[in-house]
Structure formats: structure tokens, C-alpha cells
Structure 1
Amino acid sequence: MSTQAGAQRPAPAGTGRFISGVVEGFYGRPWTMEQRTELFKREQRWGLNTYLYAPKDDYKHRMYWRDLYSPEEAEQLIALISAAKQHNVEFVYAISPGLDITFSNPKEVTALKRKLEQVKEFGCRSFSLLFDDIETEMCPADKEAFSTFAHAQVAITNQVYQHLGEPEVFLFCPTDYCAAFCTPNVLQSSYLHTVGEQLLPGIDILWTGPKVVSHKISVESIEEVSSVLKRAPVIWDNIHANDYDPQRLFLGPFKDRPTELIPRLKGVLTNPNCEFYPNFVAIHTLATWCNSSAGGGSRDVEMGDEAQDPGYSPHKALMLALSDWLQELMSTDHPGGQCRPARLKKESSDEEPMQTDMSDGPYNPGPGENPLYTAELPTLDDLKLLSDLFYLPYEHGATARTMLQQLDWLKEHSQAAAAHTDETAEWHSRAQQFDDMCDAVVQMFNRLSNVPNRSILYDLYNYICDIKSGVGLARAYVKTLGGQGQPSAQVMNEDPEPWGFRGGLSGEFQRMLPGHGNRDLFKHPPMTAVYSIRPYCSEDKLEVQRIFEEMQRGEVRAPQVSQPPLISDALSAGELSPSSQCALVVEDEIGVCGYAFALTDAKLPAAKFQRAVSDLVLEEFPSLVVVQVLPRVTDPSPAKRMVGQLLSSVRSSGSRGVFCELRLSNRRMLDFFSKLGSFKPLHMDTAPQDVLVMATSL
């Protein structure tokens, strides 16, 4: 272990010890009393000292904050506060009255004091007032009594703090609790200046950093907000919080917070995953960070930029946490149970067994029968893979990044799978590597499903089942690209099983939105502007001609090579009109930046031009499509969507196939149609040397 039980950080400038621990401050099902007691044991073992009770969906914490606790509820809280004291953990009771409190009404202030007095009678000595995630508009009565929202909050907080006898630990959460919420910025925020100047100096202030979920928290940013608040803040850290997305879980280490922050803060509390048991890594690595010294520790040379902090290595902290977590996974969560390294056996029971004939003893399979199932338990490598797959909000783990890079490469070079080129062997080698990584995910899932500690498994199960299904779809797709038979392509057909597509209604909405994917952690293609695709109208003719001419000027052509006339050129230049429902343009914030036209029957227009396609080709592929987009459109998605719509319209007309004419000098469109996957080159002796014809059946 890198931490020692009971170890405490030296306090920063000011009074009191360094606050370190956990805030239960997420939205969703609160933790159970048993889980909180287990948390206190862990905090004591790892050297953390604080627990902030603030579950958003506990009725009497937020929505019904005025209501006193019933005798039964009081009994539970008394036991919980006592358990925290037993393990040297400071229990901080938080209340969130901001949804509907009238600050200027003395009865409201009395109700708030009465509620906190009741909790004080339970043995609690530390408190917190939270005004996060509320409306900032004051009611008319409060507007008459207070000049600003900040003045109202400060006034009631100071009153309550003094009424409770100025507790040693009293935390205040502002409505503007991160830099992103400050208007116009931290240094010029009138709200923060009021809080800093008028909140009594014994009250500490919670702060999440630059954002609600901060990627990095720098020394400079903390010094900036401290200067405004007139005190060092307590960080409420949401780096491991997952209540905003039911498909995410975060099992990576506490990171991107330099240990130089420690003497500049009053404390750090992590608000982690909603699921209790997977938080082992988040809390364990926070403890390692809190117990690191700015000048101690050793650098992990393999971590690159992450190892710039001499006092803390996220990679080493993670491996320490995973090693300890593995031991917990191996221990049964049933009282009196033992770790079972081999075949899982039944628990002994006083109940009458269902079998009435036990004379033969335990079942042993005979010759030729199925052997008994033997549980294969997870390894440290499995937990490292699990952490890589569910790492942090702004970062995938190393294995996850490699899988995404491999899949992206396999997609981009799919033409090599069936061709016989120098790249073919590399494609199949990479496909096999990707398949092996997918198999490792499946095996990890199988082994985790066998762990004796079922409570941990049940918290993890939905996530590991989802990732197993996701890599299964990707695995099948790669096999389809490699031409490995029809069965692997079943998930890609037009009538898939429900497990063949992700996200339900939420996924449908996301896929319909123009910005979907532009915030993916794996940034490919690059983030782009929002594009609008609409039907072509006569007013667009000049813009289309301008784009066509600009693209012709930009093509790399061999000198003194005459360009053969193409049907596509006549369509783009306005000499031919596209078929009905077969003309689209794409716009960005500047204007029209591309177009896609189609002729459902290109035979008659072809008779007017010296064409690159033969009559035989026109029989099989009677329709034509032409696409052009300006170089500023770096995202291929708009062009792909236009082609998809055109092919649907052409198919509806009864056409059996579509072709496109591409000059070899038009590298962008050559690359575009090659990567679509559906268009294949047609090798024709009649085609000019400078022209490639590609086609697809409908």
C-alpha cells in the first residue's frame, strides 16, 4: 500500500486539518447505510478523514429539506454518525434548501436552523449549506430584501453558521461553483466577490475547478479563485462522477491535479460513480494522491507527461488500487464464506435440499459426459483492461485507444482486405490483432462473471455486458470487411436484432443531430462545424457552377493533357438538369460549400456527349451521380449523407445501378468514393486514360 492508516496531510494556510475524503453528492439512488459504513472503514484504512452527506435524491436533504427526520430515520443517522466517529471520519451533514427557500422569510430561516439542530442532536458536529444547481432568479420578496442573490445566500449562511456555534468544519457551496459559471470570469465575478468578502472567514467554500467536470485543475486556477474568495477552496471533484450518463463508468486513477495543489487547498472531496463498489479505484487513488508529498515519491518514466509530478504517478497509483481491488473481488460477500479459487461450491444450508436421494453423494460426471463447470477467476490484467475500457471522462485507457485506432485503420483501408497488394497482409494482420483484443474483452467479462464477491459484479454487470456487446459488433464488422462469411454479417443487415444497435430512443435522437460525434474522445474525423443539407433550387445554380470551376482549377493535372467531356461536367455546369428529387446542396456558416446531383437515366444525355462509359455499362448502371465539396469541408459525413439520400431516390425510380465519373486529378473525390465501400472501380478499355469509372448496384 502507498498510504498508511490514519496518515494526515499537513493543513494549508489557515486553521484546521486538510479535508480529504468522499462526498456522496450525486443524483440517483443513494448508497445504503451498510455501504456508507464500509466506506468509513476504507477511508480510515487509506488515510482519508471526511465524508460529506449530500445525496441529491434523498428527499429530506433537498426536495423536502424543511421536514424533520422521523424516529426511524433518526435512528439510522445516529448510527451512521457514530460509525463515522468510530473510524475517525468527520461526518459532514449537508442540506440543499435552494430549490424553494425564501431567504427573506424569518420562518424559513427558523425551519433551516431547526432541521440542522435536530441533526446536531444526533451527534453531528460538521455541516454544509449547498446552493448548487438552482435557479438564480430571486422571488419578489427576496429582491426587496437583498440587493443580489449572493447577498441573500451569504446572509442566511452566516446566520446558520453562528447559530450552530461556528463549527470547525462548515462548508458552503456557491451557485457559481466553477469557473465556467462565472460572469464574465472568475476575477470579475460580482457573485464570487460578494461571497469572498462577506462570508465569515471560518466558512470554507466548495469549488469544482474550471468546469463542472474538470479535466485538469491547475495551480494558477486555484490561486486565481482563492484571491477572489479570500480563502483556499475545498475541491468538490467530479472527475469520477457518472450520474450524467447511464452508459459511463469511470475506473481510471485520480489524475491531472498536481500535488503542488495540496498546500494551496483546504481539502479535496471526490464525488464518484453512483455505484458504490466500483469506486474502490477512485477513492484509493485519491488517498494515494492526498498522502503524496510534493518532493517525495518516484517518477514513472513510462508515463511521459503524466509523470511530471514528482510526488504522484497516476499509473502506479492505479496499479496499487487494482491490486488491492483484486483481493476484494476474490473474497465472498456472503457472511462466513471463503474465497473459491477453483470450482464454485454451494453454500451449506439448513434447508431441506430439493434432491431427495443423496445416497450417491456429490455428482460426478461419467465417461463421455460433460465435465463440471470450473470457474476461471479474473486476473490483475483483467482489471487493468477493465480500467482502460472505463477510464476517465476526457480520456480512454491505452488499450481502448489502441482498439479504436485499429478499427479506424481497418475501416479506412478496407479496400486492401480483398485486394492483392502489399497492404493486404498488413490489413489481415491488424484484423487478427483487433480480433484478439476483442476476445480479451469477452474473456474478461467471463472471468468477472465468476467472482465470489457478487455485490461488486452486480454494480459492474450492465457496463461490462454493454462493452462486450459493443466490441462484438465491431468484431463482426471487421470480419465482414475481411470477407469471412455471411454469419458474421448478420448484425449488419437491414432487419437486425435489438442488440445490433445501441442506445434505444436516446441513441436515435443523438444519431439525428448534426453535432453527434464531434465530442468523441477518439477524435476522428476532426471536429467540424454544423452542416445543413437541403434540396437544390434554381437560385443555387451560380453557386454550384462556382464550386465546380473552383474544384477544376484546384485539380492537379498533367501538362498539355486535354480533358475528355464528361456527363458529370455538363450536370455540374448547368448544361444538364438533375432528375427530380435528385439534387442536394450542403451549407456551412459561410454558405453553399458542396452539392450532389443524380440522373436516374443517363442514357439519353450520354448520347449528346463523348462519354467515358460504354453502352454495356449503361445497361447495368443506367444512373449517374456527381458530388463535389469544397476543401474547407474536412468532415466526409455531409457528402456521405447526400450520396445516401440520392441513392435512395434513384433506387425508388427503379434503377438497378449507379456510376460516377472521376478524373484521376480529382484526388479528393477519388478518395471519397473509394472509402465509401459500396462503389467499385470498373476497368474498361474504352475509358480515357485520365478517367476512372466507379459503380454500385442498387
Structure 2
Amino acid sequence: MSTPNSALGKTSSGARRFIGGVVEGFYGRPWTMEQRTELFKREQKWGLNTYLYAPKDDYKHRMYWRDLYSPEEAEQLIALISAAKQHNVEFIYAISPGLDITFSNPKEVAALKRKLDQVKEFGCRSFSLLFDDIETEMCLADKEAFSSFAHAQVAVTNEVYKHLQEPEIFLFCPTDYCAAFCSPSVPQSSYLHTVGEKLLSGIDILWTGPKVVSHKISVESIEEVSSVLKRAPVIWDNIHANDYDPQRLFLGPYKDRPTELIPKLRGVLTNPNCEFYPNFVAIHTLATWCKAPVDGGSRDVEMGDEEQDSSYSPQKALSLALSDWLQEFMSTDQPGGPSRPSRFKKESSDEEPMQTDMGDNPYVPGPGENPLYTAEPLTLDDLTLLSDLFYLPYEYGSTAQTMLQELDWLINNSHAATAQTDETAKWCSRAQQFDSMCDAVVQMFNRLSNAPNRKILYDLYNYICDIKSGVGLARAYVKTLGGEGQPSAQLMNDDPEPWGFRGGLSGEFQRMLPGHGNRDLFRHPPMTAVYCIRPYCSNDKTEVQRIFEEMQRREGRTPLMPQPPLISDVLSAGEISPSPQCGLVVEDNIGMCGYALALTDGKPAAAKIQRAVSDSMFEDFPSLVVVQILPRVTDPSPAKCMIGQLLSVIRSSGSRGVFCELRQSDRRMLDFFSKLGSFKPIRVEGLPEGVLVMATSLRTDFPQV
């Protein structure tokens, strides 16, 4: 088995070298010639060997693939191919004719050959035909000439490959380029079987893994597709791609691809972020992965015991990349970088000094005046935090995950913030820790904004500005929960300014859909969760009591701070059983999460707590109902359904009306009953402070709920 170095060159057995590098294959503004040349330098320095030219928005790569390059465009491509050769990087030119090619038309195939011949004259020796992201329905002429879409693609690809005299590197991207696209599965895909059997053996096949953006790529999945394709694939890896969402950026390490894959692959090409400079981490860590030994040899990176892959540690690879990236951030030899003259000594020079507004001497603040602003230097901790905040598509970094967990806990336990209980000190301590983490994000933003290398900053700025704003809103909200000042105008104002909220029409559409958020990395039960409503039985008594006690704690009711009981408390506590057919419970995938109980005659419950209630109220509203739902149930539908069923049963018993007692502090249930439309507040004499009654009459048809 080959060593890491031989994997990127010729192996000892003379096998073809492992393809490792970068594909510029995203949608959006292509990289500049200067950036691509910089990429070649990095690849050479880090041991990568390939660049696949496939920018979707190069018109003559995809939309106008038939058009030859102009003399000016040709000059640029010649210079680019030459630069790649100077840095020992294989330049692969890709073309995407699939949008509108007629496979059976000889003139179309001739146009494709003519275009590739032109690029070959530029000095290019490696090529790729891409048929990704296109319609699969063939035109009538192609249907008459070919038995399937796969046969049409293979026929043209083989012909072009032979025309180019079978270059050493020739890549083919199938239309079904990941397992998710294969029908009904990879082993049973007639499309892939045709490609594997008919495509000439010297042509390599691109594959993105289980999905377009694959979370993990296993050895077993590669062995499966290799068996069908009859060759080891080249992974086109979209793990760091961000062209599908303008709010995402990925600065985490290359991970969840075991190094055992290396001998089972023809190569790996990363298709990274659209922004060039933030791809430092993606490409650097891929290079570390490619150099990982697969034969138990010595390691370039010392691995921790916590890593499942003994040859490669994503966290150590990330640390190496960020350390190197920090040096680039601090580089001042970049065009457009700010001047950093010393404030402490004057440079000696025989030339006349340049005229400035400050005159000959720099400004020195006087006593009592503000000191001059001096930016603190960027640190490795700052870049580690930055990576955590913008990690990977399926995973947040550890700090980001902790911040989300802390914010979630602080919100769900906000009743303890000002309740002056044993939990208050704990809440305040965690709120302070959350505030410190938010402050670290702000300080990271400030230091990044003043880093000397402005080119990197310009690619990052929109993202770091956005996260700083989001963290600031969360920080202000937590302070509000803790009673520090008035609610933030950014959060509570009916007429906020645009910078006070994240938005856009796309966001509006998503928030209106029932499944929005169910793929968030920080998951809560989605609004579309399945709930089971069933009749209450005696065995449910303990669980009902547990929910009742938990909701009491959330309202701040403890043995140290007792509050007058509600009439319905005797139902929830199990001291009185509900009337026949007047008990329901709701369950989710975790367990019981709510209940609705009723008494057709509420007088015994009032007597149980020695509550004096006027006979006139019981004459109009003799029945009692109580509903409690745990906060994890974000959908009001289960509670509405239970109330509707109970009201039907109570009305059938001959009751004239139903009432419920609520604490004014229980904003959640107050809001629920208010929005039902059928329950209205009623005036009752002698109610304890902070308690109100809502009721609905059953003498006429009550509104449907």
C-alpha cells in the first residue's frame, strides 16, 4: 500500500497518481485569475496536485459551451494553464454541454470536439465532461437514436475521449452523481450500470457521496458504487460548498471521511465556498487528510485518543490550518492593506516628509482626553471561535453549540431569573457566562475588522457582521429576562428598523411553511410532530401530577413561595378524579406531554380547597376544565382538539357552561384560552389576588375550536 507522498505522485507500483485538489465548480461569481494563481501556490505548498476548472457562471463553460474563446479570453486561459504547470498542478478543463446538447447530432459532437481542441492548443492536457444538474428527458431525436439517457451520454463521452487521444486524466460527471439521485438505489440503478459497463475504462467518474452535500462518506458506500461503476470514483466533495445559501460560510475542517477511503478512491476534489480567501481551512485540512498514512506509518499530525480515525484528527488538522491562516491575516504586504505607521518613533529619511493633516508630529492626546484607538492584534483563539461559528453544514463548532444550549436553557428557565429562589443564582451565573461568550464574539469581530490583510476581511465581513448582530440580539434578550432594564427596542418594537431583524422574502416564505426549522442543527420538535390523544385512565395519575408540578415550578410556585391554589389544582394533583369521559392526555415520541381534565360539577373541587364561590356562577357555569401542555409542544392543535372533545362531552351531560381558573402569570395558557374565541373573562367576587376566571356558555352552539 502506498505512503502519503506516493499517493500524490507516482506509486511504487507505477499506478496512476491520486488526484487531490480543488474544483472551482460552484454557482456564482468565478474566482479571479489572481486568486487562481494564488490557489496553485497553496496547492503546491501543501502537497495537492489538481485544479478542475468548472465555474458554472463561465458562460463558455456551460451556457454557451459551443462558442470558442476570444483572443483575450484565450490569453487568460493560456496564462492560467501555464501558472498551474509552474506549480506542478494538473489543470483539468471541464465543459458542461448538457443543458441543450442534442447527443445524436454529429454537428453538436463536432462543436464539442472543436471547443476542446481549442483548449488543448492552450496547453491543457486533462479534460472533463460534466452532465450534472440537467433535465433527464431526451429530445425526440435522441430517443430515436439511443436506448437511454445514459447510453447517449456515454456514447458522446467515449467519442470525445478517443478524439482527444485518451488523455491520462479525463473525468465524467454523471447526472446521477450521488446515491440520493439513484433510482431505486445505487446497486439497482440502470443509469449507473450503463455508465459502469459502457464508459471506457480510462475515464474516471465523479461522485459526491450519499447526497449532493454528504454528511459522511463511508468505505462501504464507496465500495458499493465502485462495484457498479467498475472503477474507483473521484469524490467531488461539496462539504464546504455554500453557493446554495448566501447566509452560510464553512470554516470547519475536512472531516467524516475516514482515511481508509484513500486506497479505494481515484481522488478527492473539494468544491468549497464561493468566497476565495475563506477557503484556506477547507483546502489546508484536505491536504492534511490526503497525506494521512493508510498503512500505519508515521503521522504528520499527532492524533488524540478521542479520534476514531487513528491517521487523521480533524481538530488537529484545523489547529494547524488556523495557525497558518493567522499568519496570512497579519500579513501587511497585501494590496489595499492599511498603513500601520509607528506612533512612537519617527522614521529617519533624507527625503522631504509627505504633507499630512497632522503636520510633522503625530497627535498625542492631552490629560483627560480619550486615548488614541489602537486595535488589538488578532489571535488564534479568535480564529478558532470564527471557525466554531461557521463550522460545517451538518455541525456547529463546540462554542456555537454551547451558546445555543445556554440560550435555550436561559429562555426555558427564565422564571428563575427574578423569582428569588435557589435557582436564581444559578440562572444569573449562566446568564453571565452567556454574556461573556457573546462579548468574545464582539471582540473577535473588532479584531478581525482591524486585521492588516483586507482581502480576507472583505470576503468575511458580511458573515461576521451578521453573526455579531444576531449575538447582540440574543444578548439583549437575556438581559431583559434577567430584569436588566427595559425590553430591547430591537426585540420588542412594533416598528423595528431593518437591521434589527434577519429577514428577506425567502425567510418570510420559509417561516410560513409548517416544516420550517425541522432541519436546523440545533433541533427542537418540529411543528409537524405527531401527537397521540387518548382517554385518561387511573394509571396516568402519576404522569399528570409530574406535569402539574413541573408547570408549577415554571410559574415560580415552590414550597418557599406558596400561592393560593386554583380550584382545578385538585384535578391536576389527583385529589379528585375527572368525571366519566372527561379526561384526555396527549403523548409525543418522548412520552406524555399534556392533559385536559374536567368535572361536570365543579362544586366538590371548590369545597376541597375551601373556596367560596357564588351560587350564581355555578348556575351559569357549573363545569370545570383544566388544560396543561408542556412547553416542548409548540403546536396548539393538540390542546384545541382536547378542549373541543371535552366541551362536547360536558354539553351532552346537560351542563349550561364551563369555567377555568388561570393565574395572570401563566401567560401561555391565558393566550391559549383567549385565542380559542369561546372563553371570555368573567367577573367573580372574592377571587385570590392574581387569579382570573374565563368561561364559555354551552346553552347555544359554542364556536368550533
Range class of TM-score, shorter chain: 0.7 to 0.9
Evaluate the alpha carbon distance shift between residue 242 and residue 31 of structure 1 in structure 2; reply closer, same or farther with a 3 A threshold. Answer: same
Residue 413 of structure 1 pairs with residue 435 of structure 2:
no
**Which of the residues 627, 631, 636 maps onto 2:633?**
636
Q: Please give the alpha-carbon distance, in whole angstroms, between the structure 1 residues aligned to 2:692 and 2:19.
A: 67
Match of 2:30 in 1: 30
Contact residue 273 and residue 279 of structure 1 kept, 8 A: yes
Contact residue 514 and residue 527 of structure 2 kept, 8 A: no
Match of 1:117 in 2: 117
Match of 1:363 in 2: 363
> 1:407-486 maps to which residues of 2 (within 5 A)?
407-486=407-486
Residue 377 of structure 1 pairs with residue 380 of structure 2:
no
Match of 1:20 in 2: 20
Residue 526 of structure 1 pairs with residue 525 of structure 2:
yes
Match of 2:50 in 1: 50
Cα displacement (A) at 1:300: 6.3
Residue 492 of structure 1 pairs with residue 489 of structure 2:
no
Whichever residue aligns with residue 317 of structure 1, its letter is A
**Which of the residues 523, 540, 547 maps onto 1:554?**
540
Whichever residue aligns with residue 525 of structure 2, its letter is P
SS of equivalent residue, structure 1 residue 638: coil
Match of 2:310 in 1: 310
Evaluate the alpha carbon distance shift between residue 587 and residue 140 of structure 1 in structure 2; reply closer, same or farther with a 3 A threshold. Answer: farther
Q: Please give the alpha-carbon distance, in whole angstroms, between the structure 1 residues aligned to 2:131 and 2:185.
A: 19
Residue 152 of structure 1 pairs with residue 152 of structure 2:
yes
Match of 1:106 in 2: 106
Contact residue 197 and residue 230 of structure 2 kept, 8 A: yes
Evaluate the alpha carbon distance shift between residue 285 and residue 343 of structure 1 in structure 2; reply closer, same or farther with a 3 A threshold. Answer: farther
Q: Please give the alpha-carbon distance, in whole angstroms, between the structure 2 residues aligned to 1:216 and 1:454.
A: 34
Evaluate the alpha carbon distance shift between residue 140 and residue 86 of structure 1 in structure 2; reply closer, same or farther with a 3 A threshold. Answer: same
Cα displacement (A) at 1:432: 0.2
Cα displacement (A) at 1:510: 1.6
- Choose 12-21 or 401-410, whichever is displaced more: 12-21
Whichever residue aligns with residue 297 of structure 1, its letter is R
Whichever residue aligns with residue 236 of structure 2, its letter is W
Evaluate the alpha carbon distance shift between residue 369 and residue 128 of structure 1 in structure 2; reply closer, same or farther with a 3 A threshold. Answer: same
Whichever residue aligns with residue 540 of structure 2, its letter is G
Match of 2:515 in 1: 515
Q: Please give the alpha-carbon distance, in whole angstroms, between the structure 1 residues aligned to 2:384 and 2:341.
A: 20
Cα displacement (A) at 1:636: 1.4
Contact residue 343 and residue 373 of structure 1 kept, 8 A: no
SS of equivalent residue, structure 2 residue 58: coil
SS of equivalent residue, structure 2 residue 211: coil
Whichever residue aligns with residue 62 of structure 1, its letter is R
How many residue pairs were aligned? 619
Contact residue 337 and residue 454 of structure 2 kept, 8 A: no
Contact residue 214 and residue 238 of structure 2 kept, 8 A: yes
Residue 399 of structure 1 pairs with residue 399 of structure 2:
yes
Evaluate the alpha carbon distance shift between residue 474 and residue 337 of structure 1 in structure 2; reply closer, same or farther with a 3 A threshold. Answer: closer
Q: Please give the alpha-carbon distance, in whole angstroms, between the structure 1 residues aligned to 2:451 and 2:110.
A: 51
Kindly provide the CA deviation profile for residues 87-120 of structure 1, in whole angstroms up to 9, marking residues without a partner as x: 0000000000000000000110000000000000
> 1:289-308 maps to which residues of 2 (within 5 A)?
289-294=289-294, 295=296, 296-297=298-299, 304=306, 307-308=307-308
Contact residue 299 and residue 309 of structure 1 kept, 8 A: no
Give the superposed CA RMSD. Answer: 4.6
TM-score, normalized by length of structure 1? 0.78
Whichever residue aligns with residue 526 of structure 1, its letter is P
Contact residue 94 and residue 130 of structure 2 kept, 8 A: yes
Residue 62 of structure 1 pairs with residue 62 of structure 2:
yes
Cα displacement (A) at 1:550: 3.0
Evaluate the alpha carbon distance shift between residue 289 and residue 270 of structure 1 in structure 2; reply closer, same or farther with a 3 A threshold. Answer: same
Match of 2:41 in 1: 41
SS of equivalent residue, structure 2 residue 243: coil
Cα displacement (A) at 1:26: 0.3
Q: Please give the alpha-carbon distance, in whole angstroms, between the structure 2 residues aligned to 1:520 and 1:13.
A: 47
% identical aligned pairs = 74
Match of 1:649 in 2: none
Cα displacement (A) at 1:40: 0.3
> 1:273-292 maps to which residues of 2 (within 5 A)?
273-292=273-292
Q: Please give the alpha-carbon distance, in whole angstroms, between the structure 2 residues aligned to 1:186 and 1:505.
A: 38
Kindly provide the CA deviation profile for residues 196-233 of structure 1, in whole angstroms up to 9, marking residues without a partner as x: 00000000000000110011111111111101101000
Match of 1:90 in 2: 90
Q: Please give the alpha-carbon distance, in whole angstroms, between the structure 1 residues aligned to 2:662 and 2:341.
A: 64
Evaluate the alpha carbon distance shift between residue 124 and residue 628 of structure 1 in structure 2; reply closer, same or farther with a 3 A threshold. Answer: farther
Kindly provide the CA deviation profile for residues 141-179 of structure 1, in whole angstroms up to 9, marking residues without a partner as x: 100000000000000000000001100000000000001
Contact residue 234 and residue 268 of structure 2 kept, 8 A: yes
Match of 1:655 in 2: none
Whichever residue aligns with residue 299 of structure 2, its letter is G
Match of 2:553 in 1: none
Q: Please give the alpha-carbon distance, in whole angstroms, between the structure 1 residues aligned to 2:462 and 2:428.
A: 32
Cα displacement (A) at 1:332: 2.2
Q: Please give the alpha-carbon distance, in whole angstroms, between the structure 2 residues aligned to 1:627 and 1:25.
A: 59
Whichever residue aligns with residue 131 of structure 2, its letter is F
Q: Please give the alpha-carbon distance, in whole angstroms, between the structure 2 residues aligned to 1:143 and 1:468.
A: 55
Cα displacement (A) at 1:496: 2.3
Whichever residue aligns with residue 528 of structure 2, its letter is A
Q: Please give the alpha-carbon distance, in whole angstroms, between the structure 2 residues aligned to 1:25 and 1:238.
A: 10
Whichever residue aligns with residue 550 of structure 1, its letter is Y
SS of equivalent residue, structure 2 residue 127: strand
> 1:610-621 maps to which residues of 2 (within 5 A)?
none
Contact residue 567 and residue 605 of structure 2 kept, 8 A: no
Evaluate the alpha carbon distance shift between residue 102 and residue 5 of structure 1 in structure 2; reply closer, same or farther with a 3 A threshold. Answer: same
Q: Please give the alpha-carbon distance, in whole angstroms, between the structure 1 residues aligned to 2:513 and 2:193.
A: 40
Q: Please give the alpha-carbon distance, in whole angstroms, between the structure 2 residues aligned to 1:274 and 1:483.
A: 43
Whichever residue aligns with residue 220 of structure 2, its letter is E
Q: Please give the alpha-carbon distance, in whole angstroms, between the structure 2 residues aligned to 1:672 and 1:487.
A: 19
Whichever residue aligns with residue 271 of structure 1, its letter is N
Match of 2:656 in 1: none
Cα displacement (A) at 1:362: 3.1
Cα displacement (A) at 1:494: 2.6
Q: Please give the alpha-carbon distance, in whole angstroms, between the structure 2 residues aligned to 1:614 and 1:505.
A: 55
Contact residue 5 and residue 44 of structure 1 kept, 8 A: no
Evaluate the alpha carbon distance shift between residue 661 and residue 300 of structure 1 in structure 2; reply closer, same or farther with a 3 A threshold. Answer: farther
Q: Please give the alpha-carbon distance, in whole angstroms, between the structure 2 residues aligned to 1:155 and 1:588.
A: 54
Q: Please give the alpha-carbon distance, in whole angstroms, between the structure 2 residues aligned to 1:169 and 1:484.
A: 65
Match of 2:81 in 1: 81
Match of 1:208 in 2: 208
Cα displacement (A) at 1:501: 1.8
Evaluate the alpha carbon distance shift between residue 381 and residue 10 of structure 1 in structure 2; reply closer, same or farther with a 3 A threshold. Answer: farther
> 1:160-309 maps to which residues of 2 (within 5 A)?
160-294=160-294, 295=296, 296-297=298-299, 304=306, 307-309=307-309
Cα displacement (A) at 1:610: 5.5
